[in-house]
Amino acid sequence: MIDPAWVSVLSVILFIIGVWGAFTRKNAIIVLMCLELILNAANLQFVAAAIQHGDATGWVYAIFAIAIAASEVAIGLAIFLAMYGQHETISLDDVNLLKH
Amino acid sequence: MAGTETISSTFIEYAIFIVLLPMLAFPIILFLGHIFNGNQKWVKSAKEGGLIALPIMVASFVLSMLLIAEFIGTGTGSHHIGDWLSFGWMSADGMTINEKVFGVGIYIDHVTVMLLFVASFLCMLINIFSIGYMNTDPINDNRNHRFYAEFVLFCSGMLGMVLADSFLWLFIFWELMGLCSYLLIGFYYEKPSAAYAAKKAFLTTRVGDVFLVIGLVMLWNLFDSLDYAVVFNEDLIAQVDPGQLQLALGMMFIGAVGKSAQFPLHVWLPDAMEGPTPVSALIHAATMVNAGLYLVARMFPFFGAPGMHGELVDLAFIIAAIGGITAVMAAAIAFVQDDLKKVLAYSTMSQLAYIFTGLGAALWLANSLDWHTDDKAHAIVVVAFGAALFHLFNHAMAKGMLFMASGSVIHEMHHAHHDMHHHDDHGDDHHDDHDDDHFDAQSMENMGGLASKMPITATAMLVGSASIMGLPLIGGFWSKEGIIANAWRVALEDPRFFLPAACVLIGAAMTGFYMSRMWLKTFAGKPKTEVAANVHENTPWIPIPLVTLTFVSLSSVILAGMMFTHWAGEPNGGYAFFGEKGLLKGLIYEFEHVFANSDAFFFVLTYVAIFIGAIVGPGLAMALYGGSLKDGEKAKPWMQPIINLSSRVNAKRGFDNSAWANSGLSNALKERLYFDKWYDAAMLKLVAGFANVSAAFDRKVVDGTIKTIESTSQKLSTQVRRLTTGSARDYIMMAALGVLVIYLLLGVMV
Amino acid sequence: MSAQNGFNSDMFEALAPELTLFVGLLLIMIVPNLGNGTFRIPGTSIRLPWFFGGTRYKAVASPRLPGLLAVLTMAVALFQVICYLLDASAADGKVISSENGIEIFKVNMFSRIFEAIFFAALLLAAIASLDRLPTGSQKSDDIDVLFNNRRQADFYILMLTSALGMSVVALAQDMFVLFVGLELASFSTYVLVAFHKETRAGSEGGAKYFIVGSVASAVGLYGLSMLYLWAGSLQFDVLAAKWAADGATSLSMMALGFVLVGFAFKISAAPFHFAAPDAYSGANSPVAGVLATASKAMGMLGLMRVLLLITIPEMDAEGSAIWIGLLGVLAAVTMTWGNIAALGSDNPKRMLAYSSVAHAGYMLAALTAIGAWNWGLVDNAGDAMDVVVAALIFHMFVLVFFKLGAFLILGVLEMEGGASRLSSLAGLGKREPLLAIAMFLFMISLAGVPPMAGFLSKLLVIMGIVEVATGTGSLSSIGDAHWVWWLALLMVINSAISMFYYLRVGVVMYFHEPEEGRKGPLASGASIRIAIALCAIGTVAFGLVGGELIELCRDAAESLR
Amino acid sequence: MNIDYLSLLVVLPILASIFLLILTSRLNGFARAKFDAPVRMAALIISLAMFMLTTLMFLGQIGDVGWSNIAFNTFEFQESYVWIEQLGITWTVGVDGLSFPMVWLTTLLMPITIIATWNEKSGATYFPLMLMLGGALIGVFVALDMFMFYVFWELTLIPMFFMILKWGGKDRKYAAQKFFIYTFTASVVMLLGLLTMYFLMDTQTFNMQEMVVQASGANANGVWLGLEVQKVLFIMLMLGFLVKLPAAPFHTWLPDAHVQAPTGGSMMLAGVMLKMGAYGMFRLPISLFPHALEEFRFIVMMIGLVSLVWGAIVCLGQTNLKKMVAYSSVSHMGVILLGIASMQPLGWAAALFMMFAHGIISPMLFAVCGAFKHHYHSMEIGAMRGMAKHSPWLATSMMFGWMASLGLPLLAGFVAELMLMVAYWHAYGWWIIFPGLVLAITAAYYLWSMQRTIFEGGEATQPPESLHGDPVPDIDNSEKIAMLLLAAFTVLFGIMPWIFLDMMDMWTRSAMAFLGLGGA
C-alpha cells in the first residue's frame, strides 16, 4: 500500500493545477473543470488523511464532497447556460457588463 | 486727592435723571414720530418732536443747575447707585477667588460740574436753535422726529459720560455718543458724502476707542477697579508701577485723540459737517469733542499724585505735543477753506489742540512740581489746569454760537436762494437756473456783505470769532493767554516743550487770521452773489441761542474775575466762587496778572501773544479780504467801525496773494495735507486689498483643502473601483493575491 | 447542557424550527402542483386520481401561494426561534451527536440567535418578494402563467433551502457539517442571484458570483481537508484541543488560511469582495439584501466558530491570537476599501454593496479585538470577549433591518423600471414621503447616526474594541493601549467618510427632480411596503431601546464559550 | 405632582414634530398647503408654552431654584431614568448655571424664529422641523448622560440638514452635506475619545456628574488618567467641539451653511447650534481635564485668536451680506476660546455670556439678512441702497443688529467683550492688541456694509433690478415683531446683564475652585 503522504502530494499538485487553471483560463467550462480538480484534491486529501488517522469519517467526508461537487457542476452549468443565452459567449473575460 | 467723602445731598440722588430723561425720550420721540409722521398737529404743535425734546432738555438743564449750585465749592461727591457686574477674579497665586464689581453711580467734582454746565446748557440752546433751523427746511420734513430722538440720545450720552463715576461708564456713554454722532452725521443718509462721512467719523473714533479700551483694561489691572473713588486714591496710586500707569494713560489718551479729532486721527471732523448744522454745533461745542478733553482732564489725579512725582512727564509732553502740532496744522488748513462750516471745523480742531496743550502743560506741572506742600507751585498748577478747562468752557460757548450763527447764515442763504429760484420761475434767465442747481449755500465765495442784513448773526459771529481769536478781554482771551503762558512756563523747564509752546504762539496769529478772514468774507465787503444780496434774517427760534451765547461770551471777563481758573483748576474744589477775593478784587487780580505780570518773561510773552493774535493775524486778513459794505447799507454801530477799518487796511495794505494761493503749500492745505487721501488709500489699497486676498485665501486654500480632499477621494474612488474590472478571472486572481498576503501575514505573526 | 444521540422525539423538539422549514419546503413543492392529474396504472387504462399535476385546482393555482407558504413557514420558524431565545438562558444547550459520539449540531442561544438573524432577513425578503414576480391571470392552462407559477415556487424553494443551509451552519459542531450547510446556502443563493436569467445583468451577476464563490468554497474545502489531515477530526472541540496542544504548525496554519478564504468571500472582505458588487447589481434587490445581511452573517458565524473556538488563546495564556495581525490588516483594508469605493459609486446597489464591504471591515475589526481579549491579562477578559461578540451579533442583527430595508426601497424602484443609477431615487421625497423618510433613516443608520440602531451597533463595536484595547484601565499614554485602538480610530474616520455617500442618497431624494417618466407615487406593492415598514420600525426601535436585544446578544455570546 | 419639566422640554417638541410630520406626510400638494397654517400655529403654541415654562422656572414659579447659587457640578431639576440598562445608559437631565441660560435661550429663539419666518413655504414640514431642532438642542443642554448628550448632539443635525436642503439657497445641496459631514466627522472622533475615557475610568459611568466627581478627585492629587492620556483625550473631545464652534481652520462649513440656509435655519444655527460647541467644551473636556487645559491653554488661545482675527479680516473681504455675518460669527466665537484660555473666572464668565449674547444678537443679524434676501432677492452688499428711505424698519433693525454685534455698550455683546478684554489682558498682556484690532475691523466691515445698504440711494441710485420696478417693500409685521423682540432682549441683557450673568459667574467661580485651576 502506498504511503498516504504520496496521496497528499498528488492532492497538492491537483490543487495547484486547479487554482492555476481557475484564474488563467477564460472559458467558463474549463474553469468549472478546474474547480472540480480542486474539489477532487480535497477529496483525495480527506481519503489520505482518513487512512493516516485510521478514521472512517474522512471517507464519509469525501463522499459528501463528491455529492457537493456534483451539484455544484449542475448549478454551474445551468448558470453558464443562462449566461450563454444572454451573452452568447462563455468567455469569462467578455462577460463584463457589470463593473466598477 | 485722598479719598472721596460721600456728601449726602438731595440732588445727587436725582442726578441720574439728568441722563435718564433724555435717554428715555429717545424711544418715545422715535415711537411717536413713527406713529404721527406727517400729521399736521405733530408738525405744527409738537414741531415733529422738537417740543418734546425741549422740555426734557430744559429739565435736564434745571436738574444740572440745581446739582451744580449745590456742589460749587463743596468739593467732590459721589452717589453709588448699584453694582452692574460682579464677577470672580482669581488671585495671582491661584489660591483664592475674590469678588470684583463694576458699579454704577454718579460722581461730582469741579470738572464734572463745569462740563455738566457746558453740556446741558448748550444742548438746551441747540435744541432751541434746531427747532428754528430744522423745522423750517423742507428737506427735513417727516424725518425731524428722527433728528430729535437721536439728538436727545446724544445729549444723554454726553451728560452720562460727564456724570459717570467710573472710567467704565465714561467709556460706555462715550461709545453711545459715537453711535449718535454716526447717526446724526449720516442724517441725510441719501447723500453718499454723508454716508461716507458718518462711517469715517465712527471708524476713526473707533480706532481711538480700541486703545481706550486697552488703556482701561490696563488700568483695571493696576487698580482692580475703574471707579474714580478708587483709582484716584493717592495711596493706591503710589503702589502701582509708574511705567505701567503711563502706558495705560497713554492708551487712554489715544482714545481722546480720536474723539477730540487730534492729529493723526483728526480726519473725521471736517467731514462731519455733512450732518445738519445743529449737529455740527452739538458735536463741536457741546458734546463729542469735549469728551476727549474731559477724559484727559480726568487723568489729572494720576499726574498730581505725589506717588507719581516726575514719572509721567513723558505722557504730559506727548499730550502737549499732539496739541501743538494739531493747533498749527488745523489752523493752516483753515486758511484755505472756503466752506464756512469747514473753517469752523478746523478752528475747532485747532482750539481743542490748544486745550490739549494746556492740559499737557498743566499735567506736566502737576507731575513735576511739589505742589502739595508748596503754595506757589500749587497756584501754578491750579491756574494752569484751570486755564485749560476755562478755554474748554470759552471755546464751547463760542463755538456753539459760531456754529449756530453759521447755521443761521446758511439757512438764510438757502432760503434766499430758494425764494429767488421760486420767484424766477417765470423769468427768462434759464442759464441762472441751471447754475442755481449747484448753488453752494455754505461757500463763503457766495456770501459777503451780510453784516447789514443779518445783524444778530453777524454780531454773534463777531463775538464768537473774537473769543476764539482771544481778542483782549473777550471770552477766550483769558484762557488762551493762560495756555500760552503755561506752555512757555514748562518749556523753560523742559526744552521739549518748546515745540508745543512755539506752536501755540504761532497758532494764535493763525487763529487771528483765519477767524478774521471768515468773518470778513462773510459779513464784510460787497455781496458776491445775487443770493447774498437778498438774505433776510427772519427765522424764529434761531436768535434766542445766539443772543444768549453772545452775552455768555462777553461775560467771560466776569467769570475770570470770579476766579474761574482757580476754582476749576483746584482739584480739591475748595476754592469757591467769590470765596477769596470777591468780584472786583478778583478782576483786579486777573488784570494785574495778565497785563502786568511781575515776571519779565511772561510780561513780554503776553504782549507778544496779544500782538500777533489781535493785530498781525486780523491785520493780514483785513489786508486781503477787507472791504466796505454795499453803498447805502450800514451795519450796526459796533460792527461798522470794524468794516470800515478793514476796507481801509485793504485799500492801503492790500497785496496780491495769488502766488501764495496757487503755491504747492496752498494746494496741499486745500487737500488737507493729503491725510484723507492717504488714509483712504490705505483703507482701500492695503486693508481692503489684504481683506480680499484673505477672503480668497479662505475660500481657495482653507476651504480648498477640504474640497481637494473631497475631490481627491472621489478620484481615488474611481481608481479603486476600476480594480473591479468586471472579469471574474481578475476577481479570482485578486483573491489569490489575497491568499498570498494572508500567508505572508500569518508567517510574519509566527 | 445535555447530549443527544440518535433520532428521537427530543431531537425533533430541539430542531423544531429546522423541521418547520423542511415541512414548508415540502409543502411549496407539493401544494402548487395539486390538480386533477391522474395516475394510469401501468399496463392498464385505469386512471386513478392522485391529485398531482393536470389542471391545477383553483385554490392552489394562485401564483401567490408559494410565496405565502414560504412567508408562513419562515414566520413560524422565526417565531419558534424567538420563543427559544426568550425562554433559554446562556447555560442551556443541546448537543445532537451521532451514535459514535461525533457531535453534529449544538442548539444553544448562540446558534439560535444567528438563526433568528437568518430567518428575519429571509422572512423580510420573502414578504417583499410577494408582489415582485409577475402574477398574471389565474387561468391554469396558460403555459406562461404556469411557468411563472413554477418560478414563484422555485424562488421560494431556494429561499427556504438557503434558510435551511444557514441554520445548519449555525448549528454545526463539525467543520464539515458546517461546510455542507454553507454549500447548501451558497448554491441556493447562486441560483437566486441568477434568478433573472433572462436579463443580461442577472445571468452575468449570477455567473460571476458562482464562479468566484465556488472557487473560494472549494479552496475552503481544501483547507478543511488539510485541517483533517492535521487533526484527524473536524470536530470543533477536538480541533481546539489539538490547537492548544500543538500550537500553530505550518500545516495547521496553511489549513487555517484556506478556511479563512472561504469565509472571507462570504463576508465579502477585501480582496475577496470583487464579485459582490456585481452580484448585488445583477440580483433583484431583496436577494441582494439577503446576500448583504443573512449570507454575510453566515460567513461571520463561520469565522467566529473557527477563530474563536479553535484558535483563540486561553484566557490565562500570554499573547494574542495568532491571526490578530492578519485580521487587523484585513479589517483596515476592507473598511477603507469599501468606503472609498462606495464614495464615487453612482449605482445605488453597488454603493450599498461597497458599504457592505465596509461593514465587513468593521466586523473584522471587532474580531481582531477579540484576538487581543486577554491582552494585559485583565480580570474581565471574559467579559471583554463577551462584549465584543455580543456587539458583533447585535450589529448583524440590526443590520438586517436597515441594510435590507435600503435594498427593499431600491426594490420598489426596480418594480418601476430599474434602480441602477442614483438618479432613480430622485424626487422620492416628493413622490413618496414615507418611503423617502424610511430610506433616509436607513442611510443614517448605516452611517451610524443616533438614535438609529446603526449607531447603537457601531457604538457597541467601538466600545468592545476600546474596552479590549484599554485593558486594565491604567495607561500612561494612549500609545500604551493595544493597537486595536487605532482600528477603532480608523473605524470612526471611515464612518465619517461613509457619511458622504449615505447623505448623498438623502440629497438626491429630497433635492433632485425626478427623472423623466417617473412621476407621482410609485407602483403599488403593499407587501414590500409592509416589509420596509417593519425594517424602519426595527431600525428606530432597536436604536432607541436596544437594551433587551443587547441582553440577548450577551447571553448568546456567553453561550459561545 | 412631580413633573419632569426638563424631559418635557425635550420630548414634547420632538414628539409633536414627529406627529405633525407623519400627519402631513401622506398629503400631497394642495391638501398639504392647507395644513400650513394650523401646523404653524401649533408649532408657535408649543414653542411659546416651552418659553413660558423655562421663564417660569427662571422666575422661581416652578421649582423655586436659587439660580445664582448653583455650584459647579450640582444640578437642578435633576431626573434620571434607566434607558439602556445593559450599557449603564440612563436618561438623566438637569440644569445648572452653565446650561440653563442656553436652555432658556433656545426656548426664546424658537418662537421668535417661528414668528420671523411666519410665511415660510411648505410650513407643514418646516415648522415641525423647527420644533424638532429646538427639542434636540435642549436635549443637548440638559443631558447629563454622555450617551444621551451624544444622541442629541447628532440629532440636531438632521432637522437642520433638511432645513438647509429643502428651504435653502441655490447651493443648498453642497452646503447641507458639508454642514452634516463636517460636524459628523468631528463628532465621531469625539465619540471615540468619550468611549476611551469611559473605559479608562475607575468606575465606569456615562453620568457626567459622577464623571466629574471621579475626575476631580483624581485631579486634585495628580492627573486623572495620566497627563499623556488626558492630553490625547482632551484633543479628541475638543476637536468635536471646535468644529462645531467653529474655530479656524475648521470654520469653512459655516459660511456655506449660513449663506444657503433659510432664515430660520440660520437663526437657530447661529443662535444656539454654534453654542453647543462651547457648551460641550465647558461640560466635558474642561470639567474633566483641567490639567490638559493648562497644558494647552496657549494653543487654545492661539486658535481662538486666529479665528477672531482671521474671521474679521475675511469679513472685510466679503461682498455677500450673509457671508459677512457668517464670518463675523466665526470671529465672535473666537472670543469664547480666548475667554477659556484666560483661565480666569471672569474670562470663563465672559465666554459664557458671549455664548448667550451672541445667541440673541446673531439671530437678529440673520433675520435681517433673511429679510434683505426676501425683499430684494439678492444678498450682495450694494444691491440695494437707501434702505433707510425705502424700508425704514429693515434699515433700523439692521443698524441695531450690526451695532449690537460690533459691541456697542449697553447692548448685550458689549458686556462679554469688556469682560473678556479684562481677563485677556490679565492673562496674555500685549496680545490684547489683536482683539483690539478686531474691534476696529469689526466696526469697519459693519459700517462699510451699512454705508452701501442703509445709506446712499438718493435720486441717483435706483432700487435693485431684481425688483423689476416694483415698489420696494418694507418687512412685514411678523418680521417686525421678531426684530423688536430680539432688539428688546438685546437691550435688556445689555443693561441688566446680571439676570443671567450671576448664575454664570457663580458657575465659573465654583468651577475654577472645584477644578483647582488658577494661577496666571
Residue D147 resides in a domain: yes
Q: How confident is the model at residue D278 (pLDDT cuts 50, 70, 90)?
A: very high
Chains that touch B (3 or more CB pairs under 8 A): A, C, D
Mean pLDDT of C71-97: 89
CA nearest C219 in A: which residue?
A: A38
Residue A38, min C-alpha distance to chain B (Å): 14
Residue D149 scores a pLDDT above 90: yes
C-alpha distance from residue B216 to each of B161, B246, C435, D129, D438 (Å): 15, 12, 62, 46, 17
Count of CB contacts below 8 A, B vs D?
A: 170
Nearest by CB: D196 against C470, C500, C507: C470
For D194-215, the pLDDT digits (tens) are 999 998 888 889 999 999 999 8
Measured between CB atoms, does A95 come within 8 Å of chain B? yes
Nearest by CB: C496 against D151, D172, D181: D181
**Domain encompassing residue D185:** 5-515
Q: Is C504 in contact with D177 (Cβ distance < 8 A)? A: yes
What's the DSSP call for residue D466?
G
Mutation target vs B (from D69, D253, D314; most B CBs, 10 A cutoff): D314
CB-based contact D64:D127 (threshold 8 Å): no
Residues of B in contact with D251 (CB under 8 A): 702
CB-based contact B326:B350 (threshold 8 Å): yes
C-alpha distance from residue B201 to each of B82, C488, D74 (Å): 33, 58, 50
For D349-367, the pLDDT digits (tens) are 999 999 999 999 999 999 9
CB-based touch D/A (3+ pairs, under 8 A): no
CA nearest B716 in C: which residue?
A: C340
Q: Is A26 in contact with B721 (Cβ distance < 8 A)? A: no
d(CA A27, CA B491): 110
Nearest by CB: B695 against D317, D418, D517: D317
Residue C463, min C-alpha distance to chain D (Å): 6
Note which residues in 67-96 of chain C have CB less than 8 A from chain D. none
d(CA B6, CA C259): 95
Nearest by CB: D229 against C444, C456, C477: C477
Q: Is B726 in contact with A23 (Cβ distance < 8 A)? A: no
The residues near B264 (Cβ < 8 Å, ≥ 6 apart) are B257, B675
Q: How confident is the model at residue D43 (pLDDT cuts 50, 70, 90)?
A: very high
Nearest by CB: B206 against D346, D443, D518: D443
Residue D382 resides in a domain: yes
Residue C177, min C-alpha distance to chain B (Å): 24
Nearest by CB: C233 against A22, A55, A92: A55
pLDDT score recorded for residue B429? 42
Q: Are strands C47-49 and D76-84 parallel, antiparallel or unpaired?
A: unpaired
Chains that touch C (3 or more CB pairs under 8 A): A, B, D
d(CA A61, CA C235): 12
Residues of D in contact with C546 (CB under 8 A): 84
Q: Is D437 in contact with B694 (Cβ distance < 8 A)? A: no
User: By C-alpha distance, which of C11, C169, C108 is closest to C561?
Assistant: C108
Residue type, C456: L
How many Å separate Cα B601 from the centre of its chain?
33
Nearest by CB: C492 against D181, D192, D228: D192
Mean pLDDT of C28-54: 83
d(CA D251, CA D254): 6
Note which residues in 167-226 of chain C have CB less than 8 A from chain A. 176, 180, 183, 187, 190-191, 194, 197-201, 203-208, 210-211, 214-215, 218-219, 221-222, 224-226
Q: Is D518 in contact with B91 (Cβ distance < 8 A)? A: yes
ipTM field? 0.89
Count of CB contacts below 8 A, A vs B?
A: 32
| Helix or strand holding residue C236 (H, E) | helix C236-246
Measured between CB atoms, does C350 come within 8 Å of chain D? no
Measured between CB atoms, does D166 come within 8 Å of chain B? no
Measured between CB atoms, does B637 come within 8 Å of chain A? no
CA nearest C549 in D: which residue?
A: D86
d(CA B4, CA B573): 12
Q: Is B199 in contact with D450 (Cβ distance < 8 A)? A: yes
Measured between CB atoms, does A22 come within 8 Å of chain B? yes
Measured between CB atoms, does C520 come within 8 Å of chain D? no
- The count of structural domains within chain D is 1
CA nearest C270 in B: which residue?
A: B738
pLDDT score recorded for residue B423? 53
d(CA C138, CA C140): 6
Mean pLDDT of C102-119: 92
Measured between CB atoms, does B739 come within 8 Å of chain C? yes
With cell 452635506, the residue in question is D177
How many Å separate Cα B194 from the centre of its chain?
18
d(CA B339, CA C461): 80
Q: How confident is the model at residue C148 (pLDDT cuts 50, 70, 90)?
A: low
Residues of B in contact with A38 (CB under 8 A): none
Residue B93, min C-alpha distance to chain C (Å): 29
Q: Is B688 in contact with D455 (Cβ distance < 8 A)? A: no
For C149-164, the pLDDT digits (tens) are 667 788 999 999 999 9
Q: Which three cell numbers stand for residue C35?
A: 390538480
Q: Convert C265-313 into a string of H (helix), E (strand) and C (coil).
A: HHCCCCCCCCHHHHHHHHCCHHHHHHHHHHHHHHHHHHHHHHHHHHCCC
Measured between CB atoms, does B716 come within 8 Å of chain C? yes
Peptide bond into D249 cis (omega under 30): yes
Burial bucket for residue B213 (CB in 10 Å: 0-12, 13-18, 19+) = buried
For A7-37, the pLDDT digits (tens) are 889 999 999 999 989 888 889 999 999 999 9
Note which residues in 107-126 of chain B have CB less than 8 A from chain D. none
- Choice among B385-399, C298-312, C518-532 with the minimum mean pLDDT: C518-532
Residues of B in contact with C258 (CB under 8 A): 739
Q: Which three cell numbers stand for residue C145?
A: 402563467
Nearest by CB: B195 against D251, D414, D455: D455
User: By C-alpha distance, which of B462, B523, B515, B524 is closest to B650?
Assistant: B524
- DSSP sequence for B534-559: T-----SSTHHHHHHHHHHHHTHHHH
Q: Which regions of chain B are under pLDDT 70?
A: 1-9, 73-75, 421-438, 571-582, 749-750
Residue D520 resides in a domain: no
Residue D331 resides in a domain: yes
d(CA C538, CA C399): 10
Mean pLDDT of C111-134: 89
CB-based contact C81:C14 (threshold 8 Å): no
Residue C334 scores a pLDDT above 50: yes
Percent of chain A with pLDDT over 90: 54
Q: Is B736 in contact with A23 (Cβ distance < 8 A)? A: yes
Residue D478 resides in a domain: yes
